[in-house]
Amino acid sequence: MSVLIDQDTRVVVQGITGHQGMTHSRLMRAFGAKVVAGVTPGKGGTEVDGVPVFDSVQEAVDRTQANASCIFVPAPGARDALIESVDAGIRLATVVTEHIPFHDMLIMYHYASAKGARIIGPNCPGIAAPGKSKVGIIPNVVFRPGRVGVISRSGTLTYEIVNGITEHGLGQSTCIGLGGDPVVGTTFVDALPLFEADPDTDLLVLVGEIGGTAEEDAAEYIRHKFSKPVIAYIAGRAAPPGKRMGHAGAIITRGKGTADSKVAALEAAGARVARFPYEVPDLVAETLKTRGRR
């Protein structure tokens, strides 16, 4: 098994005729994903590398039975693109687009939730299940199939840590890049029960960063409801007090959201927290060896 996507996932790429949509649809297919359709209004009837392009998501779903979308539509149109995909019956939408206005994302989140759909992102690298499928922009070369789950707020750190796990001769079950905006469609707490229920995930790597309370919330969930070992890393430990680092969501307020508070919460929940990204693969290997697994 894997989390949220598998070899049967059928992807429609919204904005496939743009540079990013075209490039990453090719890379998704090279990874093994079934990219069955693209959508660009006004370009229906054309193709991108043999993938049919439609004028609407509804037409794409009707013709190809697509059940997941990857949205590369620029920020001003991203809200309407998400609503269109949900109305067409898509229940998993990965929104790669960055700079989506805060209030647009609030509308997108609540609209999708009301319709029973899940958003990954925005401003995220997406989701990958090695050997099965990928929806998003995570580099293909860093993966190998395995039993380590990964959830992360940071795209670049995701790539570095996943690559380190692979270089240790281990592999990943599913990797989810949640995105770094203040409002995201899927949080750590949303993702944790999915990995808990996945029989092909033996251990979870959680990559967080300063700002917000997502990691503290995750620690509370791990303490009471998550039975698998967790290795964590928190970016921004050297940030000056009050400094916002990188992502729009990396804002420290009222004494919460600091690296120290997140590390303390995760360690109290039983997670092993690395000081540096390069330590994560060693901790993963050591923990799996202790449990008699690799």
Query: Among 90, 120, 150, which residue terminates a domain?
Result: 120
Q: Are residues 17 and 60 in the same domain?
A: yes
For tokens 């430990």, name the residue: 237
Q: Who's near 116: CB < 8 A, 6+ residues apart?
A: 91
Range with the poorest average pLDDT among 197-206, 247-256, 279-288: 247-256
Number of domains within the chain: 2
Q: Are residues 182 and 85 in the same domain?
A: no
Distance CA 279, CA 233 (A): 9
Q: Are residues 102 and 218 in the same domain?
A: no
Please write the tens of the pLDDT for every residue from 229-258. Answer: 999 999 976 666 555 555 555 554 555 678
43 is written with which tokens? 């370009």
Q: Are residues 102 and 169 in the same domain?
A: no
For tokens 């598998």, name the residue: 6
The verdict on residue 153 lying in a domain is yes
Range of the domain at 200: 139-290
> One of 103, 110, 224, 247 is an active-site residue; which one?
247
Question: For position 62, which CATH number holds?
Answer: 3.40.50.720
177 is written with which tokens? 């890049």
**Residue 238 pLDDT:** 63
Please write the tens of the pLDDT for every residue from 56-92. Answer: 999 999 999 999 999 999 999 999 999 999 999 999 9
The verdict on residue 245 lying in a domain is yes
The verdict on residue 128 lying in a domain is no
pLDDT surpassing 70 at residue 43: yes
Query: Among 87, 120, 153, which residue terminates a domain?
Result: 120
The verdict on residue 4 lying in a domain is no
Please write the tens of the pLDDT for every residue from 115-168. Answer: 999 999 999 999 999 999 999 999 999 999 999 999 999 888 999 999 999 999
Distance CA 264, CA 35 (A): 42
Report yes or no: 186 and 176 within 8 Å, Cβ to Cβ.
Answer: yes
> HSE-up of 195 (CA within 13 Å, CB side)?
32
Please write the tens of the pLDDT for every residue from 155-200. Answer: 889 999 999 999 999 999 999 999 989 999 999 999 999 999 999 9
Q: Are residues 98 and 145 in the same domain?
A: no
The verdict on residue 130 lying in a domain is no
The verdict on residue 261 lying in a domain is yes
Active site (annotated) includes residue 247: yes
Question: For position 179, which CATH number holds?
Answer: 3.40.50.261
Distance CA 240, CA 76 (A): 34
The verdict on residue 80 lying in a domain is yes
**Residue 294 pLDDT:** 55
DSSP assignment of the chain:
--SS--TT-EEEEETTTSHHHHHHHHHHHHHT-EEEEEE-TT-TT-EETTEEEESSHHHHHHHH---EEEE---HHHHHHHHHHHHHTT--EEEE------HHHHHHHHHHHHHTT-EEE-SSS-EEEETTTEEEE---GGG--EEEEEEEES-HHHHHHHHHHHHHTT--EEEEEE--SSSS-SS-HHHHHHHHHH-TT--EEEEEEESSSSHHHHHHHHHHHH--S-EEEEEE-TTPPTT---SSTT---BTTBS-HHHHHHHHHHTT-EEESSTTHHHHHHHHHHHHTT--
**Residue 290 pLDDT:** 85
Query: Among 93, 120, 147, which residue terminates a domain?
Result: 120
Q: Are residues 169 and 101 in the same domain?
A: no
Q: Are residues 112 and 145 in the same domain?
A: no
Q: Which residues, listed in sequence order, are joined to residue 207 by a DSSP beta bridge?
A: 152, 233
The verdict on residue 2 lying in a domain is no
